[in-house]
Chain A
Amino acid sequence: MEADKNEKNPWMCGRCQRALVLEKVKVRYLEGNFEVELYKCPQCSQVFISEELALGKMLEVEKGLEDK
């Protein structure tokens, strides 16, 4: 469920005007707690989730947890 490291992220933080960096971020759903590498603003910590990630891997993990 990690962000794609191979492609350059065209988004930057709109508030801090900083380029996003890949960092370990905590995510949780139902009984599941994970640490995954995602893009975030190094200053304000706003985390970026792409459409591809939200509707792909993330959805898959959500569904998997829901059926546990």
Chain B
Amino acid sequence: MDLDKLLEISNQCIHNEPPECTASCPVHLDVIAFVSEIEKGDFEKAYRLLESRLPLPRLLGKICDHPCENVCSRKDAGGSIHIGELERAVIELGYKPPKKAIPIPKKKGNVAIIGGGLSGLCAALDLNKKGYLVTIFEKNKRIGGRFWDYEGNGLLKEEIEAELEQIEKSGIKIICGTEVTEEKRKELMGQFDALYLGTGNWSRQFSPDPVTFQAEEPPLFVGGKLSGCQDSVILSASSGKRAAVSIDRFISKSSMMASREREGVFKTLLNYSVKDEIWEEPVKKETGIYSGSEAEKEAGRCFKCQCNECIRACSHMQKFDITPNAYIRRINHNERIILGTHFANKMINSCTECGLCKVQCPVGIGMQDIIHETRKSMVERGKMPLSAHDFALKDMQFSMSEDCSMVRRQPDKEQSKALFYYPVLAFSQYARGLYKGSGKTGYLFYPGCQLSATHAKYIGQMYKHLVGVIKEHEAEKDVGMYLGCCGAPADWAGRQDLMQENVNKIKKVWDEMDQPVFILACTSCMSMFEKYMPMIRTVSLWEILDQYGLPEVDIKQGKRVLNIHDACTARYHTNIHESIRNIAKTLGYKIEELDYSREKAKCCGYGGLVSNANKEQAETFVSDRVSEASQDLLVYCAMCKDSLMRGNKRVYHILDIIYGNELEDDSPQTILTLSDRHNNRRKLKKNLLEEIWKEKQDMETGCDFEGIIPEDVLAVMDERFILTDDVWKVVDHSRKYNERFFMPDTCNYLARLRLENVTYWVQYEEKGNKIIVKQVYSHRMEVLEE
């Protein structure tokens, strides 16, 4: 994993990008922090923030021409925040006299400031603070320049005098009534280490550097109106402050240009969208200045503009309270530590890899690929927590095993000849399809492991329908059937070794079948085929049904309104979105779209195996998604249905409405247990082989008892990822070898058995031939019995 490249991505995240107001403020007042303090009613803190950026805050704060207001995002949603008015209120309500500064020795050099006006005073104050001996030359009798223009017009005489008095007390040398001419300036250049020229007018023109304010003659710096600051007082102040930075760098012989790209006014990358914001007009003043409560209210209108587009849409980032840039830094740290705890493991395994963040992000950062690469790296380095995905991977292997997996060509004509007579041929499209059998498999119906587990009852019917409609349109192409798993769990778990095994298996089948088109019912399968097996042509089952027609089932046309929950793995499959909507409309349903639909689909919480690694996180995805829906939900992924039903919502799979099931029934829908799903897959293979391919199957349990597991114990087993198959193995073993504990009071047995890397414990009671299970638990730690 290239961590340096990863960190570069984190630097592109604009979550910490300043808002327009701060970027347009020449002295970069942190407006969000400032208004937030006001909103809280802490005017003193707000004043301290103002003071930290603004020189002579009690004067400048009152006369600032606030360019921030022109760019405020609120301007299109009621009117800009009155930041200028808020500054005035803060000065009035939060002013605290500055603490007496400890005088620092003026050893760094001596600087002359020509012109005791606004920009000159700002430069002088900053240089004085930095430890320079500063001398101001002012031609008038008093310093203050433009501030005096505001006397009686925004500023009081006493205020100006009080603030200027502070300058005199600060140790800056002030020489008034001395006009410096061009000739005198040249003379001063030899006497001082640097000169700042901040007079409004001068006998000749200078062209100072726009970043450093350094003029053509090196120790000379030019700011204020002479540098083009025109009438903006805040730009003038900023030029003085920035020239002070340059003078400091010049005298101390450090780089004049380094890290100054964003000094003064700059363009922020943040482009805050107000489209979802509510219109609110500015708070009106009762008197000449905002009262405390008026200011608080006005500050409350501020959006605190920040890019949170991804976080707003993602339950995962919300739960871990993290932004992509911080997330990436945590991954970087997690990847680099050698000794110690990998604290980010749980977070990394709690992302659904759904890809919504990338759709939301204005600069296109997506966590999906990053998380995927990270999990792969964790597996490769042996740092992936074993328990996070173990169950899902075993479940996947089971789906791929002989127990559930099978491949068959379309039943041949010889095998099906019992169907080829009137009236069967006339009424059964399936029989006609078989009759047209060509022996060449053009399509392979691949329902996927999850649909086979939850909607097994429809798979055979759908297969027959596909044979019927496809043979009618494309007579030369037979339709085969393939039960298996695409390997999505391996991909999500970062197990490239298992993924590759699966891919090889599927490709082998594809080749043996003369490279048919796969008909996929699951969008997770679709994304895996696209990612790992691009050579295999696929088509969505829903597109086929939309194009060739739905099964004719005696159903009542629905009149209800449904919300569609799109599958996140079909995010960019516009054709699938359309097909699903067309099918629902054909069946008479009205569709109400959710805010997050189609390419903005939110994950149901199953993606990325989150429900295996962090159940609580999966639950937040469910509740978030369910809260968005006002109607019953329509989904087209078996896992979406299973997950969302856990949010106490009625959820229909598209097959449920195609086959007209569960339509009027208001009873709660049943969520299948993990064991049910296992057994359904096994039974599906058996049933299909018997019913369609007429192959007799034997199913043996191999146990000599009748096992009973009460509902509440079953629920606990699901919670703990324990299957009934394994429970019976434990019980059977304990009875055969008499390896068990006994409790005389209850006559209960307790037995344990290690299966692969897990030890399962089962407490049970024997009643004749019946075994009643009381409790089940497991651990991974191995106990050495010796």
- Interfacial residues, chain A to chain B (CB-CB below 8 A): 10-15, 17, 20, 25-30, 38, 40, 45-49, 51, 54-55, 58-59, 61-64, 66-68
Does the CB pair A62–B783 fall under 8 Å?
no
User: Is the CB–CB distance between A67 and B385 below 8 Å?
Assistant: yes
Can you list 24 A-B contacts with CB-CB less than 8 angstroms, sorted by A residue number? A10-B745, A11-B741, A11-B743, A12-B742, A13-B742, A14-B740, A14-B749, A25-B784, A26-B786, A28-B781, A28-B784, A29-B780, A40-B785, A47-B783, A48-B741, A48-B750, A49-B752, A51-B761, A61-B781, A62-B781, A64-B341, A66-B386, A67-B343, A68-B342
- Give A49 to B780 CA distance when docked, in angstroms: 12
Q: Does B777 contact A (CB under 8 A)?
A: yes
Residues on B with beta carbons closer than 8 Å to the beta carbon of A28 = 781-782, 784
Q: Is A62 in contact with B785, judged by CB distance below 8 angstroms?
A: no
User: When chains A and B are docked, how far (Å) is the Cα of A46 from the Cα of B786?
Assistant: 8
B744 CB–A CB distance under 8 Å: yes
How long is the Cα–Cα vector from A62 to B345 in the complex, in angstroms?
14
Shortest CB-to-CB span from A39 to chain B, Å, is: 9
Within the complex, which residue of B345, B744, B752, B786 is in contact with A67, where a contact is CB–CB below 8 Å? B345
Residue of A nearest to B744 (CB): A12
A45 to B786, CA, bound (A): 6
A29 touches B782 (CB 8 A): yes
Given A55-B777, A64-B341: A38 and B783 within 8 A (CB)? yes
> Top 8 closest A-B pairs, CB basis?
A66-B385, A14-B742, A14-B740, A54-B779, A26-B784, A11-B741, A29-B781, A51-B777
Which residue of the partner chain, among A17, A30, A46, A54, contacts B761 with CB atoms under 8 Å? Answer: A54
- A10 near B343: Cβ-Cβ < 8 Å: no
Contact with A along B750-763 (1 / 0, CB 8 A): 10100000010100
By the criterion CB–CB under 8 Å, are A54 and B342 in contact?
Answer: no
Nearest A residue to B738, CB-CB: A15
When distances are taken between beta carbons in the complex, the residues of chain B under 8 Å from A40 are 785
Contact partner of A62 (CB less than 8 A), chosen from B343, B387, B745, B786, is B387
Q: Which of B263-316 contact A (CB under 8 A)?
A: none
| Distance in Å: Cβ of A35 to nearest Cβ of chain B | 10
CB proximity of B483 to chain A, nearest CB, Å: 33
- Shortest A56–chain B CB gap in Å is 10
Interface residues on B, range: 20 to 34
State how many angstroms separate the Cβ of A59 from the closest Cβ of chain B. Answer: 7
Q: Which residues of B contact A59 (CB under 8 A)?
A: 779
List A contacts of B342 (CB < 8 A).
67-68
Q: Which residues of chain B are within 8 angstroms of A26 by Cβ–Cβ distance?
A: 783-784, 786
- Report how far A61 CA is from B784 CA in the complex, Å: 17
Q: Which residues of chain B have C-beta atoms less than 8 A from A58's C-beta? A: 779, 781
> Judging by beta carbons under 8 Å apart, are B341 and A49 in contact?
no
Cβ–Cβ contact A66 & B781, under 8 A: no
Q: Quick one: CB contact mask for B705-744 with A, threshold 8 Å, 1 for yes? A: 0000000000000000000000000000010001111111
In the assembled complex, which residues on chain A have CB atoms less than 8 Å from the CB atom of B385?
63, 66-67
Residues of A within 8 A of B782 (CB): 27-29
Measured CB to CB, the closest approach of chain B to A16, in angstroms, equals 10
The secondary structure that dominates the B interface is mixed
Closest to B388 in A: A66
Q: Which of chain B's residues 341-385 have a Cβ closer than 8 Å to chain A?
A: 341-343, 345, 385
Distance from A34 Cβ to chain B, minimum over Cβ atoms (Å)? 9
In whole angstroms, how far apart are the Cα atoms of A32 and B309 in the complex? 43
Whether the pair A54, B341 counts as a contact (CB closer than 8 A) is: no
B405 within 8 Å of A (CB atoms): no
Question: Are B780 and A62 neighbours in the complex by a CB distance under 8 Å?
Answer: yes
| Nearest Cβ on chain A to B456's Cβ, whole angstroms | 33
**Does chain A have a CB within 8 A of B679?**
no
Q: What residues of chain A lie closer than 8 Å to B742, measured between beta carbons? A: 11-14, 17
Known: A62-B387, A64-B341. A49 touches B785 (CB 8 A): no
Q: How far is the CB of B190 from chain A (nearest CB, A)?
A: 68
Q: Are B777 and A47 in contact, CB atoms less than 8 angstroms apart?
A: no
Interface residues of B in 141-164 (CB under 8 A from A): none
Question: With contacts A11-B742, A49-B761 known, is A62 near B784, CB below 8 A?
Answer: no
Give the interface centre of B388, B749, B781 by most chain A CB atoms within 10 Å. Answer: B781
Provided the pairs A28-B784, A49-B783, A61-B781 are in contact, do residues A66 and B741 lie with their beta carbons within 8 angstroms? Answer: no
* B386 in contact with A45 (CB, 8 Å): no
B785 contacts A45, C-beta separation under 8 Å: yes
B775 interfacial contact with A, CB 8 Å: yes
B778 CB within 8 Å of chain A:
yes
A10-B743, A15-B740 in contact; A46/B785 too (CB < 8 A)?
A: yes
B534-589: which residues lie under 8 A (CB-CB) from chain A? Answer: none
Residues of B within 8 A of A46 (CB): 739, 741, 785
Contacts of B778 in A (CB 8 A): 54
CB distance from A12 to the nearest CB of B (A): 6
- Least CB distance from B427 to A in Å reads 58
Within 8 Å CB of A29, what residues of B? Answer: 780-782
- 5 extra interchain contacts, Cβ-Cβ under 8 A, other than A15-B740, A26-B783, A63-B385? A14-B740, A14-B741, A25-B783, A62-B780, A66-B387
Among residues of A, the one whose C-beta sits closest to the C-beta of B778 is: A54
Mark interface residues in B302-343 (1 if CB within 8 Å of A CB, else 0): 000000000000000000000000000000000000001111
| Most chain A CB neighbours (cut-off 10 Å) among B742, B775, B777, B783 | B783
B144 to chain A, nearest CB (A): 64
Does A27 contact B783, Cβ atoms closer than 8 Å? yes
Instruction: State in angstroms the CA–CA spacing of A62 and B385 once bound together.
Output: 9
State A49–B758 Cα separation when bound (angstroms).
Answer: 13
Cα A2 to Cα B777 with chains together (Å): 18
Contact in complex: B779, A49 (CB < 8 Å): yes
Alpha-carbon gap, A4 to B138, bound state (A): 86
**Which B residues touch A14, using CB under 8 A?**
734, 738-742, 749
| A20→B62 CA distance, assembly (Å) | 84
Tell me how far the C-beta of B8 lies from the nearest C-beta in chain A, rounded to whole angstroms: 27
Q: Give min CB distance, B617 to chain A, whole Å.
A: 16
Distance in angstroms between the alpha carbons of A24 and B205 in the assembled complex: 92
Contacts of A55 in B (CB 8 A): 777, 779
Q: How far is the CB of B446 from chain A (nearest CB, A)?
A: 35
Is A62 a contact partner of B341 (Cβ separation < 8 A)?
no
Distance, CA A63 to CA B740, complexed state (A): 28
If the complex has contacts A14-B738, A15-B738, A48-B741, are A54 and B777 also in contact, measured as CB distance less than 8 A? yes
When C-beta atoms are compared, the residue in chain A nearest to B759 turns out to be A49
Which of A14, A40, A55, A58 gathers most chain B CB within 10 Å?
A14
Bound Cα distance from A61 to B4, whole angstroms: 33
**Shortest distance between the CB of B174 and any CB in chain A (Å):** 65
CB distance from B327 to the nearest CB of A (A): 18
Q: Assuming A10-B743, A13-B742, is B341 touching A67 (CB within 8 A)? A: yes
With a cutoff of 8 Å between Cβ atoms, the chain B residues found around residue A68 in the complex are: 340-342
CB distance from A20 to the nearest CB of B (A): 8
When distances are taken between beta carbons in the complex, the residues of chain A under 8 Å from B745 are 10
| CB pair B775 A51 closer than 8 Å | yes
Closest to B384 in A: A66
Contacts of A17 in B (CB 8 A): 742
User: Within 8 Å CB of A48, what residues of B?
Assistant: 741, 750
Chain B nearest CB from A3 CB (Å) reads: 12
